[in-house]
Structure formats: C-alpha cells, structure tokens
Amino acid sequence: MALPAVLQNLALPVIGSPMFIVSYPELVLAQCKAGIVGSFPALNARPAELLDEWLTQIQASLVEHKAANPDAVVGPIAVNQIVHQSNARLEHDVRVCVEHKVPIFITSLRAPVREMIDAVHSYGGIVLHDVINLRHAQKALDAGVDGLILVAAGAGGHAGTTSPFALVGEVRRIFDGPIVLSGSIANGGSILAAQAMGADLAYMGTRFIATREAHALESYKQAIVDANASDIVYTNLFTGVHGNYIRQSIVNAGLDPDALPESDKTAMNFSDGSSKAKAWKDIWGAGQGVGLMSDVPSVAELVARLKQEYDDTKKRLGIR
C-alpha cells in the first residue's frame, strides 16, 4: 500500500516523536523546516487555550518559510492526543486540532474512537496510533486508524519490551499500511534498518532531546550525551506505564534505580500538572540509543547528518 501523501516526499523518512515537556514550537518548527515530521503532545500547551496559539504560530511560520524558500522540503506537523480517561482536555484539544486541520494525529494509550477518526478524515488528515504489541495493534486497526507506530524495546519514555524485528514482522502479517518504528533509532543507518525490516518511517525522540531547539534542561541534554544503554532503567513507577528513564535522574531524585517499587495504571495523570505528570521534568525519559549520542547539535545539523549517514549506508549496501 502506498504511503499517504502527507508522509511522502520528506527529506528523510522520520517523524520526530512528541515528547512531554520537551517538544515545544521551537523544536517542532525546526524539525518541519528540516524536512521531517515535527510533532508535539497537545498537553504541552498549558493552559489549554495555548494550543490554538501554538498551532496558529506554527502553521503561519511554516507558510512563511515555504514562501521564502519555495524549493525547500517542509515537513508536516503532527499532534499527539492522549486517549485516556485522565485526560480531561481530550475533547477540547481534538476540536482545536480539527479546526486547524492538523494533518497528522498521533494517538496514545488507547485506540481513538470512531468520531475522532472521522473528524480527522473529514479534511484529509490521518491518524497514527502507537502500540507495543500485536494485540494493541489489532485493536487500533479495528478502530479504523490509518497507520501504526510500533514502540519496540529500547524506546525512550513509554515503551514495550518486544524486539523490533519481531514486532514489525508480526504486524506486517496483518497490516500492509503505514508502519512507523520506534526504539533506539539514533543514526541514519538505523533509519534504513527500520525500513529494511518492513517499517516505512523511523520515529525518533531521544536524539532530538539532545538538540539546541529542544525545550529541555541543559543538564538533561548532557545526561543523554554522557549515558550508555546500561544507564537506562525500565520502570512503571513514575506514570503507571512502563517506560525507559535515565538512571542518573532517578538517583538525583533520591531513589534507588535498582530497587524501585511497582506502580499501576491508575497512577497515570496527564491532565492537571500533578506530581505524576511532572515526573518527566525531573525523571528524564530516554531510549537505549543514548550511547550513540555524543553532542548537542541544531536540528538542521542533526537532520543533515542523519541524511548523510542514511545515504552513505545505502551506497555501502548497493541500494539505490
């Protein structure tokens, strides 16, 4: 099946993952202007009224950039919606995004309802849903989503434990539409590898935290540069959903990363800025690919580097 038009003709087959606290308009704009998909969680815009302002600002800036650079490849924007009962803003945020005709919705935690999908489809938008296993993938497809984001082992933040080789292979047996792969993708070669195993695009988050435009503390960015895969801890303590976090940030919070208690999904809270939601501010999410990250470039520099690595890998393998 051909990719939806909005996912074609990118400078690189990459979606910048929507990251809580980190993905703000400056990062999104830099990603889009570099020719990849830029995204942010709707809940990053606080208070809720700020979401309309952000979308207005981002869309106007991209139109202006394209007018000034008619030959430039400009990526589309995507907005992440947390489909969970704790998200009291969901109806409002979906309505605002539909009014702005956001071309890509990324839904998380639960499959979106048909009314949401129909609203996005009404103006030609698409819905991608992130999943960590085959059962969740099938439920999302039954709900009518257009594509799947497979969050495999090693991904930053909320992540699964299944090997990307197994997860992509299993999902490809039931779905021939758009597949986006997440999990320790940190350079151009791994973007190509994602495609080689059956995905259409790569989903990259951690590598973009360590960029100049990311809305993250300098200490967070430096922790990514300093860390290796062994410094990533998988736990459900902080949000109720299992995810990967930097060991040092857990230590800094006065906790023992080797003796963390278990939590449960009822601990999730993304809607009101409570201490659970703020966990991302102090307990830093990151994927196992951190050991491949050694600097904090601009987004433009990073995407150019990724493109060179991607092209070099294709050339080395004799791929046109």
Residues 217-226, mean pLDDT to the nearest whole number: 96
The answer to whether residue 2 sits within a structural domain is no
Range of the domain at 181: 8-216+297-316
Q: Are residues 169 and 265 part of one domain?
A: no
In this predicted structure, the answer to whether residue 212 has a pLDDT above a threshold of 80 is yes
* 155 and 228 in a common domain: no
pLDDT at 265: 57
State the chain's mean pLDDT as an integer. 93
Number of domains forming the structure of the chain: 2
Q: Are residues 205 and 233 in the same domain?
A: no
Is there a single domain that holds both residue 284 and residue 305?
no
Whether 51 has a pLDDT exceeding 50, the answer reads: yes
Same domain, 149 and 179: yes
* Same domain for 282 and 305: no
Q: Are residues 204 and 304 in the same domain?
A: yes
Residues 66 and 211 in one domain: yes
pLDDT at position 274 is: 39
240-287 residue pLDDT tens: 888 999 999 999 989 999 988 887 655 554 443 434 435 678 899 999
Q: Domain check: are 177 and 143 in the same one?
A: yes
Residues 65, 163 share a domain:
yes
* Domain shared by 308 and 284, yes or no: no
Indicate whether 148 and 183 sit together in one domain.
Answer: yes
What residues have CB less than 8 Å from 135, skipping those under 6 apart? Answer: none
In this prediction, residue 279 carries a pLDDT of: 63
pTM assigned to the model:
0.93
Q: What is the CATH number of the domain that holds 179?
A: 3.20.20.70
The reported pLDDT for the residue numbered 263 is: 76
pLDDT tens, 279-319?
678 899 999 999 999 999 999 999 999 999 999 999 999 99
pLDDT per position as a tens digit, 163-208: 999 999 999 999 999 999 999 999 999 999 999 999 999 999 999 9
